[in-house]
Amino acid sequence: MEILYQRLKSLTRFPAEELIPALGLFQLIRLPARTILLEPGQLSETAWFVETGILRAFYNVEEQKRSIGFCKNDKIHREVTSWIVPDGGFLTDFSSFLYQKPAKYFIETVEPSRLYALSRESYQHISMQFPAIAKALFEHTILMTDMRVQMCNLRNPKDRLSMFHQMYPGLTARLSVNMQASYLNIDPTTLSRLRGKEK
């Protein structure tokens, strides 16, 4: 709870007496790696704060193979990682959580994780009783979204990798090459080569 408290304190700059009542609305859960928290089509009823561990949001796509020699009906299936959220971050399917639309993503734990779950009902309570705290909960996510868009607009894979290091210092070693490559929209072989040059 101390990490959550410090995170909210840094986001809101509120004194303890204003934050402590809101902290009671978060529930601590411990989960093993590869636990699915949300699936596409479900309604997201929970937002998660990551105390330790990593969450990711991803979806599956089916695409036509682009290589020469494949027939037009050949398809490939792949996972696209859209969000990576390490210690100190919040994650949910935001349109589903806020507006009760069917979720678009899977959300899973990447490694064993300690999470603080905030139910939609508790979030609505915070929104009424502590509106500044409710606003602050997702401000960091908005900033990270802006950085994510900037990163995606970089054409050079090396530049995208460099920006990833700025956004998530020290996270590379905790992610598989395939997962990170998917997030960066880089071929895994290219990413391995770039990571090899960094050593």
Q: Is 125 helix (H, G, I), strand (E, B) or coil?
A: helix
Q: Is 4 helix (H, G, I), strand (E, B) or coil?
A: helix
- Which pLDDT value is given to residue 139? 80
Residue 28 lies in a domain: yes
pTM (2 d.p.): 0.87
Which residues span the domain enclosing 54? Answer: 2-192
- Which pLDDT value is given to residue 26? 93
Residue 151 lies in a domain: yes
**Could you give the angle at the alpha carbon of 38 between the alpha carbons of 29 and 45, nearest 5°?**
75
- Which pLDDT value is given to residue 199? 64
Please state the domain count of the chain.
1
- Which pLDDT value is given to residue 35? 98
Instruction: Report the Cα–Cα distance between both ends of the chain, in Å, rounded.
Output: 36
CATH number of the domain within which 177 lies = 2.60.120.10
Six token digits for residue 196: 């090899």
- Which pLDDT value is given to residue 47? 95
Per-residue pLDDT of the chain (199 residues; tens, 9 = 90+): 788 888 888 877 777 787 888 888 999 999 999 999 999 999 999 999 999 999 999 999 887 766 655 556 677 788 899 999 999 889 999 999 999 999 999 999 999 999 999 999 999 999 998 888 888 877 878 888 898 899 989 999 999 999 999 888 989 889 999 999 999 999 999 999 988 877 6
Using an 8 Å Cβ cutoff, are 52 and 113 in contact?
A: yes
- Which pLDDT value is given to residue 157? 92
- Which pLDDT value is given to residue 68? 57
Residue 199 lies in a domain: no
Residue 98 lies in a domain: yes
Residue 198 lies in a domain: no
Alpha carbons 87 and 49: distance in angstroms, whole number: 8
